[in-house]
Structure 1
Amino acid sequence: MLRLCLSAVVALAGAGAAASAAHADGRLEARYRMSIAGLELGRAAFLLEVDQDSYTASGSARLTGVVRAVSSAKGSAGARGLVENGELAPRSFAMEAETDKKSEAIRLALNGAGVTDMSVEPPVSQSDDRVPVTDKDKKGVFDPMTAALIMVPGTDDPLSPKACERTLSIFDGRQRYNLELSYERMEDVKAEKGYAGPSVVCRIAYRPVAGHRPSRKAVKYMTSNKEMYVWLVPVAGTRVLVPFRASVATAIGVAQLEAQSFVSEPMVGKGPRPSRAAAP
């Protein structure tokens, strides 16, 4: 569950699609609770700043409560990129995570064509049944953090079924996969602090492409899982939607990420502020 958050909810939302370039400056600070079967697992935070030319996103997560007594884990992730011709164009992604037994670090550099450089520690283990990642698999992809941002085209209300009409091509440094989003419904949501209003709910289907081991039970389970959803809400002053809530059915209960605080503001005419790391 921790890695879901660090990778922008395993990219339970989309990126891509054109957006209105005008009046696209905004800032979001959000704090989330992670749980499974109703039991709190941890806390997470997310910070986003976007203007007409660029975006910066960062997040962090840590285990809390009774789970921390069994295992301590924490991590952070971040991404930067440009807004070119109304589209998100990722340029860098970094993720670090630590548990009692190991640490992990991933770095990606990207341009308009795809991944240009990468570092993964520890390296992906060799296995005869692992589908190899080829150079082609690194073309035309988004990093997981950028994939948590949706820019909806046009001038109509971005909170509409069209926000869910997309397939996301994602590479996280280890695996290449697609997330197929489809419209489910509209639903009101409310944070303890900040946002209260409508959300668009998208159903998600996981489609592994490369880097995975098809014989593993977890891969088979997630590929056939029909109970994965994300609730998207807008960032003030922009046409960007980000996750307010995400849920995934598991064998031991529903894993969920939900905003406790979701505060956004337009920054038209202000320009981007210096970023600081978000902390849960």
Structure 2
Amino acid sequence: MLLLGSLAFGAPAANAQGRLDAQYEATLAGIPVGKGSWTIEIGDDAFSASAQGGTAGLLKAFSGGTGAGASQGRIVNGALAATSYVATTTTSKKSETIRMVLAGGNIKDFSIDPEPPVDADRIPVTDAHRKGVFDPMTGSMLKVGGTTDLMSPDSCRTGAGVFDGRMRYDLKLDFKRLETVKAERGYHGPALVCAIYFTPVAGYIPDRPVIKYLAAQRNIEITFVPIAGTRVLVPFRMTIPTPFGQAMLEATSFITTAAPPRVAKTQ
């Protein structure tokens, strides 16, 4: 989820409308460890996205947890511009809620409840780090500008900065291949597979093994497919090699529908 939340960048395009209702399953070395759902609505001049999920299978018996997130905003010159973001995670030990208010790609206000303790080893996040960034939920949607083929290799060749309420990091994408994917329910069609590279910037503890591991990885892949009726691509599958086997998040149900753009009334 850390890496999924950061891909909403691209040049402006004409507005269109569409909806996605998807179900995902997470596995580790082929063993189910989590399930979740994701709903996205792209309107003529506004959008909203919400997701929820939790641990499943054997992992749930050892480390039960749930999470939910939501983002909403406007469509400005064909680009997604979030205005608010909220994410809550709950385990048997604690619950935490992150809230952010955004304007023009800048974080105007944010909070973590309860407020975490200060860690002297954590690289501080400055005001400059919170400018020109995306929130994780809006960022999970890859906006492709212009009128070129959505599945063009150039759609992968991009990058962006992300702030998730605690950490500021950069993601870079690059083209890997085209393939065909098929969900158990819904989507069956072309998919764009991109390599994704993670670079931590601030708000993290440098000695944390998971940060070092992700930053060193060169084999993480994310597979995008379109929301019908729009120029927005969203993750269908994501794979991350780990010391315990391949971790994968993949859509089991991916139902997307298009609606025609609203036509302004004329006299």
Q: Is the shorter-chain TM-score for this pair beyond 0.5, marking a shared fold?
A: yes
TM range (shorter): over 0.9
1:236 is aligned, of 228, 250, 256, to 228
> What is the Cα-based RMSD across aligned positions, in Å?
1.5
- Greater mean alpha carbon deviation, residues 153-162 or residues 189-198: 153-162
Q: Counterpart of 2:4 in 1: which secondary structure?
A: helix
Q: Counterpart of 1:68 in 2: which secondary structure?
A: helix
Q: Deviations over 1:196-255 (max 9, x none)?
A: 111110101110010011122221111101121100000100011000001111121111
- Greater mean alpha carbon deviation, residues 37-46 or residues 64-73: 64-73
* Contact 1:21–1:52 (CA under 8 A) maintained in structure 2: no
2:50 alignment counterpart: 58
1:49 is aligned, of 17, 21, 41, to 41
Q: Deviations over 1:110-150 (max 9, x none)?
A: 00150111111233432232110000000011000011111
Q: Counterpart of 1:101 in 2: which secondary structure?
A: coil
With over 3 angstroms needed to count, the CA separation of the structure-2 counterparts of 1:269 and 1:15, relative to structure 1, is closer
1:259 alignment counterpart: 251
Q: What CA distance in whole angstroms lies between the structure 2 residues aligned with 1:193 and 1:235? A: 15
Shift of 1:269: 4.9
Shift of 1:68: 1.7
2:14 counterpart of 1:21: yes
Q: Deviations over 1:30-77 (max 9, x none)?
A: 000011111101111000000221110000001122222222211110
With over 3 angstroms needed to count, the CA separation of the structure-2 counterparts of 1:84 and 1:197, relative to structure 1, is same
1:268 alignment counterpart: 260
Counting only pairs closer than 5 Å after superposition, residues 81-100 of structure 1 correspond to structure 2 as: 81-100=73-92
* Contact 1:19–1:239 (CA under 8 A) maintained in structure 2: no
2:106 is aligned, of 93, 104, 114, to 114
Counting only pairs closer than 5 Å after superposition, residues 28-39 of structure 1 correspond to structure 2 as: 28-39=20-31
Aligned pair count? 263
Q: Counterpart of 2:38 in 1: which secondary structure?
A: strand
Structure 2 gaps of 5+ residues are none
* Contact 2:171–2:199 (CA under 8 A) maintained in structure 1: yes
2:95 counterpart of 1:103: yes
1:139 is aligned, of 119, 126, 131, to 131
- What TM-score do the two structures reach when normalised by structure 2? 0.94
2:121 is aligned, of 117, 129, 135, to 129
The share of aligned pairs that are identical, in percent, is 41
Q: Deviations over 1:76-113 (max 9, x none)?
A: 10000111011111110000011111111100000015
1:211 is aligned, of 180, 185, 203, to 203
Q: Deviations over 1:159-218 (max 9, x none)?
A: 111221111210000000001111111111100111111111010111001001112222
Q: What CA distance in whole angstroms lies between the structure 1 residues aligned with 2:221 and 2:144? A: 19
With over 3 angstroms needed to count, the CA separation of the structure-2 counterparts of 1:242 and 1:210, relative to structure 1, is same
Structure 1 gaps of 5+ residues are 272-280
Q: What CA distance in whole angstroms lies between the structure 1 residues aligned with 2:120 and 2:58? A: 38
Q: What CA distance in whole angstroms lies between the structure 2 residues aligned with 1:185 and 1:81? A: 32
